[in-house]
Amino acid sequence: MRKLRMLSVAAAVLVSLSAPVAQAQNWPSCQTCSASTSHCGDPCQACAKLAIRYPDGSCSEYVYTTCGGIGSPTYNRCLRDGCTPNFVETSRSNRGTYADNFFVYCEHHRVDWVTKVDANQCNVNSTLWTLSSCDDRKDGYKAGTGVDCCDGSSATFVCDHHHSC
């Protein structure tokens, strides 16, 4: 009877210890961590170094870590916990203008190289406080048969025919 009681206690301890592991297995993959949106303390799971990697992307063994943890693709490239980035445009440089002309209307485009800086400096990696990208936006249109948005009729409708940065 005493052995049976000890076995029951041991089984209960094992079940209670295994519960957090089962819950942890539902953590998202560390591959979903993003340097621009994930906080360093966000939980994730990664394949263990010596694990077998299967063709479907799964592993024989996982390590439970965080988006800022060693082994995560965003190690040393994540947002400080509790910090919300506030990217503010600091420069805009025109790289081109062009038009899309259709039968009954046309759209004029302006292509700019835009630089933004995170005023809150949230990322633990300072090289990620500045982002630059190409911004292609419509800045004018005309309606009517045979209209041309590159005819020079105003400063907006001048084109150099560059479509990218």
* Per-position pLDDT tens, the chain of length 165: 444 444 443 444 333 333 333 334 578 999 999 999 999 999 999 888 888 888 887 889 888 999 999 878 899 999 999 999 999 999 999 999 999 999 999 999 999 999 999 999 999 999 999 999 999 999 999 999 999 999 999 999 999 999 999
Residue with tokens 């303390």: 41
Say what the pLDDT of residue 27 is: 87
Question: Which residues neighbour 19 within 8 Å (Cβ) at sequence distance 6 or greater?
Answer: none
Rg (the chain; Cα; Å): 28
Q: What integer pLDDT is reported at residue 48 of this predicted model?
A: 86
CA distance 86 to 82: 13
Q: Which residues pair with 143 in a beta bridge?
A: 105
pLDDT for the residue 24: 41
Report d(CA 45, CA 25) in Å as an integer. 8
Write down the pLDDT at residue 25: 58
* Torsion angle, alpha carbons of 60, 66, 67, 72, to 10: -40
HSE, side-chain direction, 13 A CA sphere, residue 87: 13
